[in-house]
């Protein structure tokens, strides 16, 4: 991955963090690596542990970024969540997967995306 692409991704994740914090989410982890898998954001939303995938499209090209989170990516996120729960047990919390997209600076939030 190029340095420019990494920087754009980091800016998108920072914007997503601010957006979710304004909604009352507590950011627990950013860019968490578990084995060979990565979770962009792990948050608390009340009694819910939320695993968030952030997709940033500065140019708005290649379709809506939410469509980029296909079955393969969803499976990886589910496996990463399982590893997370083994490392950080969270009894009593519900689990949810959200997607946050950013297109040309406009943020959309898809709670319980899959």
Closest by CA to 49, choosing from 98, 86, 102, 114, is 98
pTM, two decimals, is: 0.89
Q: What is the CATH number of domain 3-110?
A: 3.40.1350.10
pLDDT at 109: 97
Read off the pLDDT of residues 20-77 as tens digits, 9 standing for 90 and up. Answer: 999 999 999 999 999 999 999 999 999 999 999 999 886 656 677 787 788 999 999 9
Domain ranges of the chain: 3-110
pLDDT at 55: 92
**Burial level of 80, CB count in 10 A (0-12/13-18/19+)?**
buried
Give the span between the Cα atoms of 58 and 26, in whole angstroms.
Answer: 26
pLDDT at 65: 77
């Amino acid at each position: 991955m190029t340095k420019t692409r990494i920087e754009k991704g980091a800016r998108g994740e920072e914007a997503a963090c601010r957006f979710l914090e304004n909604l009352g989410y507590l950011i627990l982890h950013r860019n968490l690596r578990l084995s060979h898998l990565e979770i962009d954001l792990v948050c608390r939303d009340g009694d819910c542990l939320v695993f968030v995938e952030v997709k940033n499209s500065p140019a708005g090209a290649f379709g809506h970024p939410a469509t980029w989170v296909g079955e393969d990516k969803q499976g990886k996120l589910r496996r990463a969540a399982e590893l997370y729960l083994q490392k950080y047990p969270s009894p009593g919390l519900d689990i949810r997967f959200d997607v946050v997209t950013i297109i040309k600076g406009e943020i959309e939030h898809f709670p319980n995306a899959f």
